[in-house]
Structure 1
Amino acid sequence: MPDFLLFLVAQLLPMKKYHLFLCLLFPAFAGKAQTSDNLVKISRDGKYGFSNAAGQEVIAPVYDSAGDFRYGAAPVRQKGRFGFVFANGKKSSLKYDSVWIRKGTYDHQPLLLTLLKGKKGLLDSTGKEIIKPMYEDLRDNKEGYTLVVLNGQYGLVNAKGKMVLKPVYDNVGLVANDNTVVYLDGKCGRVDLVKGKVLMTPYEKVGAFIEGLAWVRQDKKYGFINTKGELVIPIVYDWAGNFNEGLAAAASGGKYGFIDRNNQVVIPQKYDQSFVYKDGKGMVRLNGQIGYVDRSGKETWLQNTQVLESSVPIRRN
């Protein structure tokens, strides 16, 4: 049974029935050993702890109940309060109403979640409280950031527990290269989480700033803004990609090509699709074929298109 279900049962069952439930569900609690994460769960006089594979006691059997180890930590209960113990024998504060472990996305770090008086918090892998239990919800983001929810609004906390984006937004996107997007009152903004700079725009969606420009979308049309938020390429394109080497893929009338920073069409919009411009050539698709075209218009078509489909960039905007 997952750890969070174990402790949910602890909240719902009376204490005597809870102990009976544990003994029926986990025979190890009745005196047998159970191995998890290279540690062996042990019991003595109705209390639980852990020893290593060599039989050396690592965590003294002083807990009323204990879950399995995952990612170097195990949830435990003592005197009706919950916390974590770690493979090195150390423990977190045992003060929570409930605790559980969730796998994170950043460097395979676990999320050690806590619940106190109905509010969620987060511990780091040593048991240090990096986010106090004061939020309605916590969700893993990317690059070590955690999404926090307070009063129905969203913000971000970094891996050190520092609030880098106050929970005042209607939504917050995934982090990429310490950047993300935020949404507020139907408008979209771009955030540099390192500099703490938020650039709100009147547009419904904003891309990443590449070479000083970011595409924006409004009413299913695309244009570009600069880092000051000024519209420098009008919102007239059916689709647009990021700038690279001074060119960006753009579409009009169902045909694709490449434009420059001055909104000049450098490579004609005659292709079924255009992708990124890189190493002096842009990837394009025409009549089922994939190839490349340079600024002079010279085309090079690949022969084994089916094999090369996996190299075509995925367009998400």
Structure 2
Amino acid sequence: MARCSENRQLYPTRIDGRFGCIDSAGQVVIDPKFDVAGGFREGVAGVWMWSGPPDDSGRPSALHGFINDSGDWIAKPAYAESREFSDGLAAVQLGKKWGYLDLSGRMAIEPRFRVAWEFSEGLAPVELNAKTMAMINRQGEVVFEMAGARLGGCGDGLIPCEQKRSWSYLRPDGSVAFEVECTAAGGFQEGRAGVLRSGLTGYLDTDGQWAIPPTYPQGGNFSEGLAAVELPAAGGGSRAPGEPQTFAYIDRSGKQAIEQTFLGAQPFSDGLAAVQIDDHDRYAYIDRQGTVAIPPMKCGFAKPFEGELAAVQHPRNFDRFGYINRQGEFVWRW
């Protein structure tokens, strides 16, 4: 589910078994003619059209394409897989190789990679072959490559890298900025990167120092200055199996920024965050001060706001979503 172009926002929704798009007022603006539709990014949405019978796992065969916010094709379904647009480019799989389309639907970087991911800060990680990863620029040129390594996306000028079970962060030219002793390391966002060490999550700053020591059984990325983290059990560490998890929001210094705690917590987006308030599948939306902006509602899951609307899942039929506005009113019912 997601937003549209800078001119207007559109949201995909299912209508009579097929997907179309509504605007923020809940009006259908793209007729339901797609088998599946993803969210809009940079004014373009990925859509899927069934192309054959299901495979052995029951997954339908589909071809991927892209439409603009008028519902017109910019790239007709021809791709086995695709990723969302970022930095004006989208990775697509044609045959057995991955390349990149631009926003006009032109193949800007010819398919030659084993796998390709999204661009960020002008760089994208790709697999050159089964043993070698690389970072490429927007022209498709290899900036650097590494054998036996895993590379993440570039954030705040730093790239997480795992090689021979050791983690480090690289600069955009491939040189090592700093190493970190951990079992997993995420990308930087808002000057912080979540890192797992000894089973607990902490956050590094861009100098490689612990801004927030490993304390939390799990933690999300920072968004709008706050991150949702699971609070440790009494005495520290993870909770016993079956014991409810408790989540809170911390600021970039590690201080708990909102007094209340929750059974579940989503990232902040457009000033609001969805939180699970009890074990009866009730979700509310709060602002950054912890004030309830949208009262609790019963639903299977509540997603972050994207512009004027947020998608909420039907409490029993998890394939069905509705959309609410910032007043908590349904503009599109499941």
TM-score normalised to structure 1 length: 0.50
Q: How much has 1:130 moved relative to structure 2?
A: 5.9
Alignment CA distance shift 1:276-1:122 (3 Å): closer
Alignment of 1:11-90 (within 5 A): none
Aligned to 1:31: none
Pick one of 190, 194, 200 that aligns with 1:283.
Answer: 194
Alignment CA distance shift 1:198-1:260 (3 Å): same
* Identity, % of aligned positions: 18
Q: Answer whether contact 2:117 2:124 (CA < 8 A) is retained.
A: yes
1:212 corresponds to 2:122? yes
- In 1: Cα distance, 2:160 partner to 2:195 partner: 9
Q: How much has 1:207 moved relative to structure 2?
A: 1.4
Asked which structure has the greater CA Rg, the reply is 1
Pick one of 69, 81, 87 that aligns with 1:172.
Answer: 81
Q: How much has 1:281 moved relative to structure 2?
A: 4.2
- In 2: Cα distance, 1:253 partner to 1:261 partner: 21
Q: How much has 1:241 moved relative to structure 2?
A: 0.9
Aligned to 1:146: 47
Alignment CA distance shift 1:228-1:129 (3 Å): closer
What is the root-mean-square deviation of aligned Cα atoms in Å?
3.9
Query: After alignment, is 192-201 or 225-234 more displaced?
Result: 192-201
Q: Name the one with the larger helix percent.
A: 1
Alignment CA distance shift 1:300-1:237 (3 Å): farther
- In 1: Cα distance, 2:161 partner to 2:205 partner: 15
- In 1: Cα distance, 2:195 partner to 2:29 partner: 51
Q: How much has 1:140 moved relative to structure 2?
A: 2.4
Alignment CA distance shift 1:254-1:123 (3 Å): closer
- In 2: Cα distance, 1:129 partner to 1:262 partner: 43
Q: Answer whether contact 1:141 1:174 (CA < 8 A) is retained.
A: no
Structure 1, residues 210-264: CA drift from partner, whole Å, max 9, x if none?
1111000231542201111111111325211111111111111111120001211
- In 1: Cα distance, 2:21 partner to 2:151 partner: 42
In the alignment, structure 1 segments of 5+ residues that lack a partner are 1-105, 115-120
Query: After alignment, is 258-267 or 185-194 more displaced?
Result: 185-194
Q: Answer whether contact 2:200 2:216 (CA < 8 A) is retained.
A: yes
Alignment CA distance shift 1:295-1:159 (3 Å): closer
SS of structure 2 residue aligned to 1:202: strand
SS of structure 2 residue aligned to 1:271: coil
SS of structure 2 residue aligned to 1:166: strand
- In 2: Cα distance, 1:167 partner to 1:109 partner: 19
Letter in 2 for 1:140: A
Number of residue pairs matched by the alignment = 198
SS of structure 2 residue aligned to 1:142: strand
Letter in 2 for 1:138: D
SS of structure 1 residue aligned to 2:217: helix
Structure 1, residues 66-96: CA drift from partner, whole Å, max 9, x if none?
xxxxxxxxxxxxxxxxxxxxxxxxxxxxxxx
Letter in 1 for 2:82: G
TM-score normalised to structure 2 length: 0.48
Pick one of 292, 307, 311 that aligns with 2:203.
Answer: 292
Structure 1, residues 9-50: CA drift from partner, whole Å, max 9, x if none?
xxxxxxxxxxxxxxxxxxxxxxxxxxxxxxxxxxxxxxxxxx
Aligned to 2:179: 268
Q: Answer whether contact 1:147 1:157 (CA < 8 A) is retained.
A: no
Letter in 2 for 1:255: S
Q: How much has 1:145 moved relative to structure 2?
A: 4.4
- In 1: Cα distance, 2:136 partner to 2:122 partner: 9
In the alignment, structure 2 segments of 5+ residues that lack a partner are 1-9, 53-61, 221-227, 231-265, 267-334
- In 2: Cα distance, 1:305 partner to 1:145 partner: 36
- In 2: Cα distance, 1:129 partner to 1:249 partner: 40
Pick one of 36, 60, 71 that aligns with 1:161.
Answer: 71
